[in-house]
Amino acid sequence: MVTLDAIHAAAELLRAGDTVAFPTETVYGLGADAANPLALRRVFEAKGRPADHPLIIHIADASQMAEWGRDIPEVAWQLADAFWPGPLTMILQRGKRVLNEVTGGQETVGLRVPDHPVATALLREFGGGIAAPSANRFGRVSPTRAQHVRDELGAHVGMILDGGACRVGLESTIVSLVKGNVVLLRPGGIQVAAIEDVLLQSIMLTQPVGQAVRVPGALAAHYAPATPLELHSAETLCMRGFRLAAEGRNVAVLVLGEADKCGSGYCAYVPMPGQPDEYARVLYSTLRRLDSAGFDHLLLEAPPDTMPWLAVRDRLRRAAQGALQI
């Protein structure tokens, strides 16, 4: 429960240049005043994030888009109408007042209107834009509960607003709308098909050659749990688990649907939801739980290679850090 007093106090901290971790529908963000360079520096320090990796500015509603972006194309208004508040981040040409500390020196800015009552209340009370990356150490799994933030960043955050478990569970979909193209930079909480239904056109799934955009989420080793993790097809999963267990490893096997797929007691079997939205909701908290449960190897059954699973598969692939088997 977050009281109005807590929202007031959090907005005061933001005005004073401090950081506030807050819930969104996707994951928890580590927020700072987007117009205060010193406050932004605190965010980078707390995360251990390189200064040239840009932050998303969170705004209360679409009317603030023009304050931070410029030359806003019609498609941006269409997407804002359809998906804001919600898990969609739009990359636009940056407006004059956007600080280099936010964009990492790039000419573009990421904007999002989050869909969570605590985030909305905080944005309204604060009045300005809140720059916020996910509230985890750089390269680690995003937090989906306040306790995750406490565990990982506790002492480095001015205040943590506890809004319970995040509904979506993985990060927003990021689309770039600069230079007349609609390009998917990161699959996430909004399905590609939903965006295409609104725009009545296909969107590009990879960035066009020659338009380098820095997205740390695009580094192979991003979103990684601490325990080694491998992805396997249903066919190779059980054999791999059996082999590792025979070597004396303490293995957890995350299977889609039924837990006893491999029909043996050699590993710990963790059933995962067979539907992409539900899988996404529990993925990061499951990885954190297994990380602290003392397993020395995680094996995951790869979800189907279909568009609804795109975001989940993207995060799993990164978490596997190259041990990819799908």
Is 134 one of the binding residues for Mg ion (CB under 5 A)?
yes
Kindly determine how many residues on this chain lie close enough to bind ligand TXA according to the rule CB under 6 A: 30
In angstroms, the CA 122 to CA 128 distance is: 10
Q: Which does 289 bind (CB under 5 to 8 A by kind): ligand TXA, Mg ion, none?
A: none
Q: Residue type at 136?
A: N
Q: Which does 26 bind (CB under 5 to 8 A by kind): ligand TXA, Mg ion, none?
A: ligand TXA
Q: Binding mask 83-112 vs ligand TXA (x if CB under 6 A, - otherwise)?
A: ----x-x-x-----------x--x-xxx-x
Within 127-146, the residues that bind ligand TXA by CB under 6 A are 132-134
In angstroms, the CA 228 to CA 225 distance is: 7
Segment contacting ligand TXA by CB under 6 A, of 33-41, 74-82, 170-178, 298-306: 170-178
In this chain, which of 53, 156, 281, 318 binds ligand TXA, going by CB under 6 A? 53
Closest CA to 163 of 174, 142, 149, 182: 149
Is 144 one of the binding residues for Mg ion (CB under 5 A)?
no
CB of 310 to Mg ion, least distance (A): 18
CB of 267 to ligand TXA, least distance (A): 32
**Which C-beta is closer to ligand TXA: that of 90 or that of 320?**
90
In this chain, which of 36, 64, 120, 172 binds ligand TXA, going by CB under 6 A? 172
Closest CA to 116 of 140, 155, 87, 137: 87
In angstroms, the CA 114 to CA 233 distance is: 35
Segment contacting ligand TXA by CB under 6 A, of 33-41, 166-174, 231-239, 302-310: 166-174
Q: Which residues contact 181 (CB under 8 A, 6 or more apart)?
A: 204, 208
Tokens of 295: 């397993």
Beta strands in 257-302 (DSSP E): 268-272, 297-301
**CA angle, corner 24, sides to 7 and 205, nearest 5?**
150
- How many angstroms separate the Cα of 308 from the Cα of each of 148, 190, 223, 279? 27, 10, 19, 11
The helix/strand/coil state of 164 is coil
The helix/strand/coil state of 272 is strand
Segment contacting Mg ion by CB under 5 A, of 28-36, 128-136, 186-194, 245-253: 128-136
User: Could you give the angle at which helices 4-15 and 117-126 cross, rounded to 10 degrees?
Assistant: 50
**Which C-beta is closer to Mg ion: that of 23 or that of 73?**
23
- Number of residues written out for the chain: 326
In this chain, which of 34, 40, 174, 177 binds ligand TXA, going by CB under 6 A? 174
Q: Which does 132 bind (CB under 5 to 8 A by kind): Mg ion, ligand TXA, none?
A: ligand TXA
Kindly list the residues in this chain that would bind ligand TXA in the complex (CB under 6 A).
Answer: 24, 26-27, 29, 53-56, 87, 89, 91, 103, 106, 108-110, 112, 114, 132-134, 171-172, 174, 185, 213-217
Kindly list the residues in this chain that would bind Mg ion in the complex (CB under 5 A).
Answer: 134
